[in-house]
Every structure is written in structure tokens, then in C-alpha cells.
Amino acid sequence: FTAYRAGLTKHSLLTDNNGVRASFSYNEKGSRNREKPSIVFVHGLSSNKETWIPIIKNIPSDYHCITVDLPGHGETVGFNEDRYSIDTFVEKLKFVNFMINSYLKSIFSSSHM
């Protein structure tokens, strides 16, 4: 089953990682909805965002779902850390959460003006 068939759209957030161009890859299904929470899916080590496709394909499209590739996994690139740790992943996920929320807020506010 593919991401497309599960209703997911692929996105990348470009950023600067200490002078190195980096990109967070994530998939999204549905649209942000003030009436329902967004659901963020984070894969485990040695996996990627595609892990969640069998689950997300069964979630109704009126829910907003996001799957993200952690640094060093899947299509997220440019975060060349000497070593990845849970703390590093949490730090990067906080950053990508901020970036995605900022992006979604700008889209939501411009489409509802």
C-alpha cells in the first residue's frame, strides 16, 4: 500500500542546520481542523514515516494526520550529527513541530480570511 493510496501527501521543510542545508520530510493526510486534534506519528529507530501507512489508511480523512521522518531516517537529510540520541530526536521534533504549525497556521488563516 502506498502513501498516495493511503491519502498522504509528501512535504519537505527546508531549514538551515548550523550552516548546512537540511530538509525534514513528512507526509500529511487531511487538513487542520479546529474541531479535531492533529495526530502526529513518529516512527521508531531504524524505520521511517512509511511505517504508519497501514494505520493511517484506516483513519477517516476528516482527521489531520502527520508522519515525519526523524533525522538520519528516510528522506530527512542534512542533519549530520556525530551521534543520534533520543534527546537529539526530541529537539529536532520540537523544531519541526514549530515549523509545521507555523506553515499550517499561515495556510489556515489565509484560506479563512
Residue 19 lies in a domain: yes
pLDDT at 19: 83
What is the CATH classification number for the domain harbouring 30?
3.40.50.1820
Question: How many structural domains compose the chain?
Answer: 1
CB of 61 closer than 8 Å to CB of 36: no
Residue 22 lies in a domain: yes
Residue 12 lies in a domain: yes
Residue 95 lies in a domain: yes
Residue 113 lies in a domain: no
Label each residue of the chain as H, E or C. Answer: CCCCCCCCEEEEEEEEECCEEEEEEEEEECCCECCECEEEEECCCCCCHHHHHHHHCCCCCCCEEEEECCCCCCCCECCCCCCCCHHHHHHHHHHHHHHHHHHHHHHHHHHCC
Per-residue tens of pLDDT for the chain, all 113 residues: 788 888 999 998 888 877 888 888 999 999 887 788 888 888 887 899 999 999 999 999 889 998 988 888 888 887 776 666 777 777 777 766 666 665 555 444 333 33
pLDDT at 55: 93
